[in-house]
Chains A and B, each alone.
Chain A
Amino acid sequence: MAISTEALIVLAPLIAAAFAGLLQKQIGDRVAMAVTTGSVGLSLALSIPIFASFVWGGGEKQVVELFKFIDVAGFSSTWSVRIDTLSAIMLVVVNTVSFLVHVYSIGYMAEDPHRARFFSYLSFFTFAMLALVTANDLLQLFFGWEGVGVASYLLIGFWYHKRSANDAAIKAFITNRVGDFGFALGIMAAFHFYGTIQYDELFAAAAAQPDLMFSAGGFETRAVELVAFLLFIGAMGKSAQFFLHVWLPDAMEGPTPVSALIHAATMVTAGVFMVCRCGSLYELAPYAAGFVTIIGATTALFAATVGLAQNDIKRVVAYSTCSQLGYMFFAAGVGAYNAAMFHLFTHAFFKALLFLGAGSVIHGLHHEQDMRYMGGVRKPMPVTWAMMTIGTLALIGFGIPGLGGFAGFYSKDAIIEAAYGSHGIGAQFAFWCGVTAALLTSFYSWRLAFMTFEGVFRPNPHAHHHDHHDDHAHAKPADGAAPAHESPWVMLAPLIVLAIGALFAGMVFAPYFLGGANDFWRHAIPFEHGEHQEFPTWVIWAPLTVTLIGFFGAVVFYLWNPGVPRRLAGGPAHTFLYNKWFFDEVYNFVFVKGARAIGDLFWKVGDQKLIDGLGPDGVAASSRFFARMVRKLQTGYVYHYSFLMLIAAVGFGAYAIFAGIGGGR
């Protein structure tokens, strides 16, 4: 069987993952790293021409079918590689970030004894993500969806000796499963109403009968609203949206390259990808789309507020991710699928950059993650600082309207304007959330930058001193710079590549994503080539204005007057934000404790007292009789019983066989 290029893109990382995972003892860490990194490099090399053909050439949608997965009574799914504009974007995003993260991890994980396992997981994740984005039906999408979930589970819990890592891994999986509950029901509903789960057929069927009704138990709605709503529940879980966001910050227990790849650039954007992929459904379902808008906008604002008060450098970036995903969702909710995908695209570069930069800082500071014990890192780590600054500027979307700016400027402003210009449900709410969150984003981003890189180094008083290597790095510099060391080039090179993306990805690709040049989208998402919509001047300048306010706020609080935040710490507002609006506490009480209590009730009262009490134990007295019988069996009579049974069975069979040969049909 000849494997097509498209199939090879998806399968190469799987083969490498299996090879590295199964033979890790035999081949050793170096070969495992080379094979996995090489395989993703190959996938990247094969993906770039495909993406380029959609941007500049005449790339056409095509579906490569491999073999049948399931086909029962019309519920059918085929293992496929679907290539269109949407999946081409994702192929480049996933493979670029994955390849860079593989390279970076060679340096970051250099001292880990389980490197082969780590790289095997990374490549497996890449495979599952590629299977997700190239699916041609909802079931393969679900396969990839769960596959990346497992990879995420395994990588969050990679350091399995840590209880906190194991708990975070399980929390991530279960929270995602809550979302999958909706997703699975969405698949069922889609099949029930439209008789297919294959994308094109499904969208056509939904468009053909837009007024099909669903009703159950007195509840009635349009079927397409139900399907779109249920699918979005899945997206909320995977993309850590409000109510189901709780796993993402905890997921930072995993090694930092994992956070960059899975929990920033790729897996968490799968929900956005899904909503865009199913854009044709959301176009028909204004209420479900409104729900998407409102949840997205709420998340964008909520996560940004929490990000203000976190001290762990990775958690700040994690909440920032959560918030940016919210932007993507409300863009999709108001129908600007192109802006959502564009932000997904640019965000992958600068957020992976920020995470890997944070990892570089953590690596340089000997695994210190608390920003209160950082400061003065710029001097010893100039490259990391420069790259992080580019990432920060891209994240806050810095740019001058009409002139140009960093990557995030193009995509974020497009989202905010789309919300302003939309008449969809929740669009105006989303606009204001988006503008406010932009202010907060700027503030917490600069807060992170200043607390980490500027000022005087603040050593951690609780740190236990374990200098197993490079003691010379700990000679305390006199000028207040941190006792850090710059990371090796194998880690810096990926930062530089991502920084190039954060600088130019917006500028270069905006005409295609936003303007639809060269008929870029080719009907992969609902997109209309219209004349450019005119917005009021204040709307166009609002993002830059709030960004500057946020910047100066951070300058005042963290450079000029660092005493102010310390005085605010401990106040009610800070406590509320620091504890992330107390979601974990409430969920823990309601769901975890609740499940335990109900489980105990069913078990100890239901099964043991009621069912067993009324049933078998009620006649337990006769068990003494059985006890005697069994004792006899044990003392040797067992042969007699089994012999009797055997004679009967064999005699029966022998007769049957001999008679059967003669008289059988």
Chain B
Amino acid sequence: MNWLEMVSGLREFLRDWPLLSIVTFLPAAGALLVLGARASLPGENPGFDRGVRLITLIVTIVTFIASLLAFAVFDPSDSAYQMVESTPWAFGLAYRLGVDGLAMSLILLTTFLTPLCILASWSIEKQVASYMVLFLILETLMIGVFCAQDIVLFYFFFEAGLIPMFILIGVWGGARRVYAAFKFFLYTLLGSILMLVAIVAMIAIAGTSNIEALAAYARDTGFDPNVQIWLWLAFFASFAVKLPMWPVHTWLPDAHVEAPTAASVVLAAILLKMGGYGFLRFSLPMFPDASHFFTPMMFALSVVAIVWASLVAFRQLDMKKLIAYSSVAHMGFVTLGIFSGTMLGIQGAIFQMLSHGIISGALFLCVGVVYDRMHTREIAFYGGLVHRMPVYAAVFMLFTLGNVGLPGTSGFPGEILTMVGAFQVSVWAAAGACLGVIFSAAYALTLYRKVTLGVIENPKLAGIADMEAREWITFGPLIVATLIMGLAPSLVLDFTNASAQAVASAFSGAEP
């Protein structure tokens, strides 16, 4: 039996399985398992913690495998939502799941990164069971965001994800965790309240909460352009904060600095992507006229974000803050690409989201490696690590270059495609964004020099140990993903092609 037959046999076999529900709720089931064990085994003991870590790891790996099954069933050449599950709910709402190439790729990113996050959380000692439970719940909610095909269900997942993240930062975070968690919560909540109002209005106007039906309504009938403006702004408030865009980005550095390593990874790699996902899923296809209207503003904000955040990153004294600001800059490319409304820009934006998930995740893990050993993220504390940690230095170098957008790493295709797309619309926006190419080299390489190169001057670093096996296993998949996506980006781009095409044609259909 050859490979193709195996795949088609597997597809046939899995056809009637509610695969998306399984992928979504497997982590939650795992959380239930952990909580059950916690309830039946009261009292602290180290063996229990080890067991919890292991169970969590296994659950997340199984989830990843389940998502790979969904991936195998998925047909990228079909632009319609696939594996749709629909169950009516009260008030005309429905429990409805389904994925297209965009959602599928983000789900894979989520399930791929979560086991690595669990591995990176091995050093957590405080309330291990609760930590793991929250992480598993968070995974369910994140996957749910990308699966949901009912706008209210989407809203539920989108907002509920805030709570475990808030607790993860507030309890397991650093010294100023309360301030950071509060800021994070306040920002994102304010944005989403407006979005809820807009969602209610949309359902009232279009008479459905089904996302596919809403998109069809927008295409065939269309929301009134004046109403679109308001709806667009309400969604913008939520997505702009989430992404984050300038000038509502200041919660991100604080949240990152205080969050435990794995929470930082999830925050940067996945939670931020919900903003980009939202723009692609709702703003462009459902409010195309308003999107056209706001394109100049979005271009301006994107370019300001790239330039501003890059220059601020250059001045940071804290490793995580620097990477957080670099995230803001990289997200600027995402919004730039999306609002170019071109195939190139949208494909580039999707690619940039996936790539940033891997690279920024890996960079936060790199910070975590030295933080676990020295318990500080202060750049000036370090220096000369390459002498003691050559393997770490090599890994950190690779991801630094990825962050710089070097061709051959996954950091490049997204940036160039978004800029090529933006160039079609505005030469100046493309030129402004292109400045980021210069600045990113400046801050990333300077950080690398300060941390790893030179000689070891701080006596506390004299005995620092290189990466151990667990850390190797954590980074290995990320290294492979970065290089494959960098050398053969077509593998990913072909997969998301149909979704991008759908968004681009919805947008260009409304050309004024």
Residues of A within 8 A of B454 (CB): 160-161, 163, 166
Return A229 CB to nearest CB of chain B, in Å. 13
Query: Chain B binding site: helix, strand, loop or mixed by DSSP?
Result: helix
Question: A649's contact among B137, B183, B427, B490, by CB below 8 Å, is which?
Answer: B137
Q: How far is the CA of A630 from the CA of B95 in the complex (A)?
A: 33
- Is B21 within 8 A of A657, CB to CB? yes
Question: A166's contact among B87, B449, B490, by CB below 8 Å, is which?
Answer: B449
- Is A70 within 8 A of B490, CB to CB? yes
Q: A216-B427, A634-B171 are in contact. Are A659 and B87 (CB under 8 A)?
A: yes
Question: A188's contact among B21, B167, B423, by CB below 8 Å, is which?
Answer: B423
Q: How far is the CA of A603 from the CA of B308 in the complex (A)?
A: 9
Instruction: Offer 15 A-B interface pairs, CB within 8 angstroms, sorted by A.
Output: A72-B493, A143-B408, A153-B445, A160-B452, A166-B449, A166-B453, A173-B441, A184-B419, A191-B420, A192-B420, A611-B247, A623-B182, A642-B130, A645-B164, A649-B140
Instruction: Produce 1/0 per residue, B418-443, CB < 8 A to A.
Output: 01100110011011001101110110
How many chain A residues touch B (CB < 8 A): the figure is: 80
Instruction: Produce 1/0 per residue, A155-186, CB < 8 A to B.
Output: 00100110100110110011001101100110
Q: Is residue B353 contacting chain A, with contact meaning CB distance below 8 A?
A: no
Question: A630's contact among B170, B308, B435, by CB below 8 Å, is which?
Answer: B170
Instruction: Produce 1/0 per residue, A67-97, CB < 8 A to B.
Output: 1111111010000000000000000000000
Q: Spot the interface stretch: A273-281, A400-408, A476-484, A594-602.
A: A594-602
Q: Is residue A572 contacting chain B, with contact meaning CB distance below 8 A?
A: no
Q: A188-B419, A641-B167, A650-B32 are in contact. Are A665 and B86 (CB under 8 A)?
A: yes
Instruction: Produce 1/0 per residue, A556-569, CB < 8 A to B.
Output: 00000000000000
- The total number of A-B Cβ pairs within 8 Å is 240
Residues of B within 8 A of A661 (CB): 18
Return B308 CB to nearest CB of chain A, in Å. 5
- Is B438 within 8 A of A660, CB to CB? no
Residues of A within 8 A of B171 (CB): 630, 633-634, 638
Q: Is residue B69 contacting chain A, with contact meaning CB distance below 8 A?
A: no
Q: Is residue B474 contacting chain A, with contact meaning CB distance below 8 A?
A: no
Q: How far is the CA of A311 from the CA of B28 in the complex (A)?
A: 70
Q: How far is the CA of A399 from the CA of B311 in the complex (A)?
A: 53
Instruction: Produce 1/0 per residue, A607-644, CB < 8 A to B.
Output: 11001100110010001001100100110001101110
Q: A615-B250, A641-B167 are in contact. Are A173 and B455 (CB under 8 A)?
A: no
Residue of A nearest to B422 (CB): A188
Question: A646's contact among B133, B413, B445, by CB below 8 Å, is which?
Answer: B133
Q: Spot the interface stretch: B200-208, B279-287, B341-349, B366-374.
A: B341-349
Q: How far is the CA of A599 from the CA of B315 in the complex (A)?
A: 6
Residue of A nearest to B177 (CB): A630
Q: Is residue A417 contacting chain B, with contact meaning CB distance below 8 A?
A: no
Return B406 CB to nearest CB of chain A, in Å. 6
Residue of A nearest to B21 (CB): A657
Q: How far is the CA of A337 from the CA of B117 in the complex (A)?
A: 55
- Is B417 within 8 A of A70, CB to CB? yes
Residues of B within 8 A of A376 (CB): none
Question: B308's contact among A170, A174, A606, A626, by CB below 8 Å, is which?
Answer: A606
Residues of B within 8 A of A181 (CB): 434-435, 437-438
Q: Is residue B74 contacting chain A, with contact meaning CB distance below 8 A?
A: no
Residue of A nearest to B342 (CB): A73
- Is B490 within 8 A of A69, CB to CB? yes
Q: Is residue B489 contacting chain A, with contact meaning CB distance below 8 A?
A: yes
Q: A643-B35, A646-B35, A656-B87 are in contact. Are A147 and B137 (CB under 8 A)?
A: no
Q: Is residue A283 contacting chain B, with contact meaning CB distance below 8 A?
A: no
- Is B25 within 8 A of A653, CB to CB? yes
Q: Is residue A510 contacting chain B, with contact meaning CB distance below 8 A?
A: no
- Is A626 within 8 A of B178, CB to CB? yes
Question: A664's contact among B87, B250, B401, B413, by CB below 8 Å, is which?
Answer: B87
Q: Is residue B333 contacting chain A, with contact meaning CB distance below 8 A?
A: no
Residue of A nearest to B170 (CB): A630
Q: How far is the CA of A633 from the CA of B314 in the complex (A)?
A: 36
